[in-house]
Structure 1
Amino acid sequence: MLAHFLSTSKSLSFACCFARFYFFFSFGCDEGFFLCIMAFDRQFAICHPLHYPCIMTKQLYTGLVIFGWSCGFILFLTPLVLISQLPYCGPNIIKHFVCDPVPLMMLSCSEDTITQLTYSTFKAIFMIGTFLFILCSYALVILAVLWMPSEAGKHKTFSTCASHLAFVTCFMTPFW
């Protein structure tokens, strides 16, 4: 990106644009999955503190990390393949910094509503699904905290969740 910013031609090949598009959005999917995994970890640690060390083992953590990375990279192959199969014939100029899917689909010679619908559905399911998972996890955390007898325990629990909630808010807000 820095080399492109400093170059005088300001052009990208189609392959570079699709590579940038794939990695940018697959890392975003990875981020969403890791936020879900972190919310699950916090919820499990707060709601089941005595069972936490027995169930959250190194093998489970490793499996969750592999799941988070692989899902982001595998799931975003579908929109990439669909958009790359569109016919492109005109002046392929995108007036955007990021090779975003919508401008790429607009460059196509034909309007493929199936690809547009698939991409929009994929994006909506991912964003709503991760948001609802995190929301449900924290709803269970709030219910567990409300049942705590001591104010110090409630404060400590909320303070451990505050940083994660702040990051989730920063990650999800631009999409809504």
Structure 2
Amino acid sequence: MIPDPDCRLCGLCEGRTQLVMPSGDLRSSVVFVGEAPGEKEDLSGKPFVGRSGKLLMAIMEEEGVDRSKVMITNTVKCRPPENRDPTAEEMAACRPFLDSELEGRKVIIGLGKSACRDLLGYEGKMSSVANTKISIKVNGKDVLFIPTYHPAACIYSRESRDALRTTMRILKDEYLEE
């Protein structure tokens, strides 16, 4: 299920340039879920191409995870104004699209608080759940969920960067086929 290019299910449509749909291997058993598109993503139509995306790519490359072998998406498909966090209502409007993207996957990597709030219902500190393997339901079926830090949190925090690197190692060692 994909949104109509002129989707108006929530107010985020008012300020967007375009929808930002998943990229990478759309059939991959591994999906990274971020928060929402930023300015660069809104202009390009692809997730994680701005500053956070460059850091994510660098960490993935350092740890031997090939971006082209995973799917990358966001909890919402439109950029929130001034890069604020998406609201619960905005995430709920996009949730059917996200669920269809996640259905049948082996592992979901939740990048940051918004992804964890939307998919896990978790509102606490990332340090309490980062790299914990948790089962979540996607369309009634259990899927492995690994919460970790959003790359934006890694820009200024060595601890967050180290945790994201650990996520990549877990992913490479346990869930990606060579």
TM range (shorter): under 0.3
More helix by share: 1
Q: TM-score scaled to structure 1, two decimals? A: 0.24
Q: TM-score scaled to structure 2, two decimals? A: 0.24
More strand by share: 2
